A and B are shown apart, each in its own frame.
Chain A
């Protein structure tokens, strides 16, 4: 909790921050290169938002959808951040 440990913790993470930023950015840029794929992502994003909005109030920005290009297969990753108080209520 000290000043020193804060600095230490932040420093340790800079490469993982870089990796996360790159993965999000490249997911968008790769989509932009192939029109079909980006349309798919936009559509998925819209429909997933609709389904979630029926049950929970979630911010547009808290839903991340990305496609990872792999050598053998591609992976669709959907990341939804649910407000804390709400997830707590449901759990109990």
Chain B
């Protein structure tokens, strides 16, 4: 039974696309069939972050409008054969996405894959609502920062009212992914802590992804961090998050580098 997961946040620039790619690659490496779908029509970037930008021939809108078959638009990742990407269109405007067309494509994707991961555009408009409409589960990507937390709260409200599940009186399973977290700054009370954000948003925590150079390095070379730097702290956080999405019960910890004196210092804080 395929799961449809939307990666959303309201606010832009918090790490939706990065997290979509990293979680998608992590789930695919566990042997499950995964497709990542870019819903950001006109501002597609998932292809670029995954290094597939030169392999795009057809896109989501072509498939929605019946100009191409799904199999023609899907791009299989070269490093991980269970991972595919369905790119968004860069040129057409988002009105070209019809609800019926998206519903048909989602049904088809559900048949082919174990996981359908939808990368939502920023904002709360039509594009974001289409991306979340078919979701069984949602990952709400949040930075420990006031505007991001406020927008996440808004998105949680939409997930509870504007999705197919909500219309049927069911609930979309919601998970918080805290990204760009700096444990040292949080300990100095310069940054909202994990506990603060959880208390405000009151949804379960999927993972804590620390601020890290490895994330930018990975997008520079066009690969999910879970493929290029699988032992790095952010990749480890994404791998654990992926296992939690698959139903494993793992305790969430603040990821810190294990080395000597600093290790000892951080352990006392955590």
A residues touching B (Cβ–Cβ < 8 Å)? 11-16, 18-19, 21-23, 25-26, 29-30, 33, 69-71
Contacts and interface: CB of A to CB of B under 8 A. Distances in A.
B153 interface: yes
A30 B189 contact: no
A16 B157 contact: no
A35 B34 CA distance: 40
B3 interface: no
B192 interface: yes
Contacts of A14: 189-190
Contacts of B192: 15, 18-19
17 contacts: A11-B189, A11-B190, A12-B188, A15-B186, A15-B189, A15-B193, A18-B146, A18-B196, A19-B196, A22-B146, A22-B149, A26-B150, A26-B153, A29-B154, A30-B157, A69-B202, A70-B202
A71 B189 contact: no
Contacts of A69: 202
B61 to A, nearest CB: 31
Nearest to A11: B190
Nearest to B193: A15
Contacts of B1: none
Contacts of B149: 22
Q: Of A11, A19, A29, A69, which is in contact with the most chain B CB atoms at under 10 Å from its CB? A: A19
Interface string B102-117: 0000000000000000
A71 B154 contact: no
B200 A26 contact: yes
Contacts of A15: 186, 189-193, 196
B202 to A, nearest CB: 5
Contacts of B154: 29
Given A11-B189, A14-B190, A19-B199, 8 more contacts: A11-B188, A18-B192, A19-B200, A21-B146, A22-B146, A25-B150, A26-B153, A70-B202
B202 A71 contact: yes
B160 to A, nearest CB: 10
B25 to A, nearest CB: 31
A23 to B, nearest CB: 6
Contacts of B199: 19
Q: Of A22, A29, A70, which is in contact with the most chain B CB atoms at under 10 Å from its CB? A: A22
Given A22-B146, A22-B200, A69-B202, A29 B189 contact: no
